Structure 1
């Protein structure tokens, strides 16, 4: 309880929010490093994912190869980069970019590859080229999954960037590391709370943005699917009425 009280006291101190090592400056740097990492991951993973999903071959191999990077600890990768002379925020951005590739790539492949074949056939029947089919039909229909992959990768990067403090970088992780170094565990807890709050805030903003970029027709279909899946009162199916039943033409003939 003393640690939590110390954390609240540290967060309520205005002096901890200003200056070069204040919360506001560290948050800005944290977001800048995260944005660079996500941008690098997008430049690598998104074109490859769209191409593999459109091609329909090699997608499984590509996703498996990308997912193998998850087995590599980010801290180990940061240490490896530091050993080769890469320190600070640059090394952190590169390591986090590697960590963000798998969800972006997997969702792009799944989204484009899962487009209804009838939609593709209809587009080709209209004379569209392969590239136009991908950009005019497949990508718009895959937007929800692609956006979800970007959101997942971005939040993972935000949660990993605090490791920058271990290789000479600056981020909100600096608060955590300095707190442990000086045995001020309330300060370390305050840094963890700030990182968690930033992740939740960005998660919410990206969820709203994901809904905005999703085409209206797909949003309506998703809403309709959710409504159909909602449990409700059981209805009995009406029996079909035979043609002519109203005027008695279908009544059985009287027996002689």
Structure 2
């Protein structure tokens, strides 16, 4: 299994793309699709027209807005570029179907694509894509918004992605004994902010869950001005990695 960080920042971070992660198992899967992550996807050399599954953690713009450009490109490619692509499955928490149906209805060019689009809403039930097992779990982010993290298992290796989350028991359970956990480190421990974790809480989750490697990501600018690795390591005895765009981690 390989993880490539397409975006380790937030909506308007000055040097980082927003949230987005490329996972390669026997499948090619995207976790979230925030602004500027499509440009970084092109830099990986992965054929974007062979991506079949996109998993969304929640529907704040910094986690899904590049999907609109990606989807428009896919429709034009297959309708007018002479290309072919497999069906596309979009997975997310409750509200995903209404959102994506609205997007597709709003833009006439999106209607009647030459490939099928499957919309799936998830809570805590696992699903299998090829040989890859995906387990979503509801996490706490902001009130009145459905948010999930994802656990991806393939050939004995486990990757967990928190999406945006506060410290919560469900996130600890999702991360249990993971080889790699990519956690929402929006703020430094010395200057915590609302509805996201800070570096110390990321370390706490990783330690309680028995994670092997902790990847800090989703930085707001104040997190880049602090030693978030050291802050996380105060609570976690494993390996701490500060995420950056286009970093690839192998499991």
Give me the TM-score of the superposition, normalised by structure 1: 0.22
Structure with the larger helix share: 1
Larger radius of gyration: 1
Higher relative contact order (CA closer than 8 Å, sequence separation 6+): 1
Q: Which has the higher strand share?
A: 2
